[in-house]
Chain A
C-alpha cells in the first residue's frame, strides 16, 4: 500500500505505523462538562467507542521511518483505496485542538 504523504509524496506503508480512528484527535475536555458524570461518559465514549465502518474511514498513521509526522488518512477499509491524506497537525488546528 502506498500513502501519498502531503509533504514527501508517495511512500510505502511499511514506513508507517497505524494508530486507529482519527476521532482520537477529539479528546474531550473534562472541565467543559456540567457534571463529573457527563465528563466521565464523554471520556468513556472517547476511549472505548469506535465505529468500525466497512467503507470510508479516517485514521491516524505515523510516519515512523520517515519524517515522523502524524497523518490523517482517509482510507476505504473494503478496497484499501486512499482518497485523502492530511497532516494531523493541520486537521487538529482546523478543529481548534492545537495552537
Chain B
C-alpha cells in the first residue's frame, strides 16, 4: 500500500496557526475545533436527546457553550455544533447516533476558517467590518453577516472574545480584512 504521509496545513496554508497582535487585539487562527451543522427534520422533537447528550440548542441569534459541545444558531431549526477537534475529529460519527433520523447532520469542519479575535474594544474593530452591532447584541449572541464581501458567522463568546467563521477558501482575504480593520481602528 502506498505510504500516504499527508501533511496537514492550516486554513492560511501554514504548518502552525498564525497569531498577530495589533494594538489591544489579538487575531488568532484556530484549528482545534470541529464543526457540524444540525437541522431538525420536520415534525421531530430533538430538544430532549440534545439535552441528554449535552448539546445546547440556543435560541435565534444566540450561542451557547456546554461542557464538550457548543452551538450557535444558523436559521430556524438549524444550528452549528462545535466540539474539540482532538476528541471529535469525526464529529458526525459522534452526533449521528444521538439524533438518528430526527435530524440531519453535515460535517462542516473543513468548510470554515475560524479566527478568534480577543482583547478590549472589540466593537471599535467590528463596526468597521460588518453591520452586526457587537455592542448592542453583547456576549452570547451569534449571527451570520457580511465582512467585506464574505458571508461570515460572528460569534460573540464574551465581551473580549469574538470568533469569526469565514469560508476556508477565502481565509487569506478574511484574515487580511481583520488585520486591515484592526490597523485602521487602533
A89 to B42, CA, bound (A): 13
Docked-complex contact B76 and A7, CB < 8 angstroms = yes
Q: A7-B60, A65-B145, A66-B143 are in contact. Are A12 and B131 (CB under 8 A)?
A: yes
8 A Cβ contacts from A64-99 to B: 64-69, 87, 89, 99
Smallest CB–CB gap between A35 and chain B, Å?
35
Docked-complex contact B75 and A14, CB < 8 angstroms = no
A67 to B79, CA, bound (A): 11
Contact with A along B115-154 (1 / 0, CB 8 A): 0000000000000000100000000000111100001000
Q: How many residues of A contact B (CB 8 A)?
A: 16
Whether, in the assembled complex, A50 has its beta carbon less than 8 Å from a beta carbon of chain B, the answer is no
Docked-complex contact B75 and A15, CB < 8 angstroms = no
Of the listed residues A66, A68, A87, the one surrounded by the most CB atoms of chain B closer than 10 A to its CB is A66
The residues of A that contact B144 with a CB separation of less than 8 Å are 65-68
A15 to B73, CA, bound (A): 17
The residues of A that contact B60 with a CB separation of less than 8 Å are 7-8, 67
Whether, in the assembled complex, B61 has its beta carbon less than 8 Å from a beta carbon of chain A, the answer is yes
8 A Cβ contacts from B68-118 to A: 73-76
A47 to B152, CA, bound (A): 35
Smallest CB–CB gap between A69 and chain B, Å?
6
Whether, in the assembled complex, A27 has its beta carbon less than 8 Å from a beta carbon of chain B, the answer is no
Docked-complex contact B145 and A68, CB < 8 angstroms = no
The residues of B that contact A15 with a CB separation of less than 8 Å are 131, 145-146
Q: Which residue of A lies closest to B147 (CB)?
A: A65
Docked-complex contact A68 and B131, CB < 8 angstroms = no
Docked-complex contact B146 and A65, CB < 8 angstroms = yes
A14 to B145, CA, bound (A): 10
A93 to B138, CA, bound (A): 34
Smallest CB–CB gap between A10 and chain B, Å?
9
Q: Which residue of B lies closest to A64 (CB)?
A: B151
Docked-complex contact B61 and A9, CB < 8 angstroms = yes
Q: In the complex, which of the residues A7, A14, A64 contacts B61, with contact meaning CB atoms closer than 8 Å?
A: A7
Q: In the complex, which of the residues B42, B131, B143 contacts A14, with contact meaning CB atoms closer than 8 Å?
A: B131
8 A Cβ contacts from A16-34 to B: none
A55 to B101, CA, bound (A): 47
Smallest CB–CB gap between A8 and chain B, Å?
5
* In the complex, the 5 A-B pairs of residues with the closest C-beta atoms, listed nearest first: A7-B60, A67-B75, A65-B146, A12-B131, A8-B61
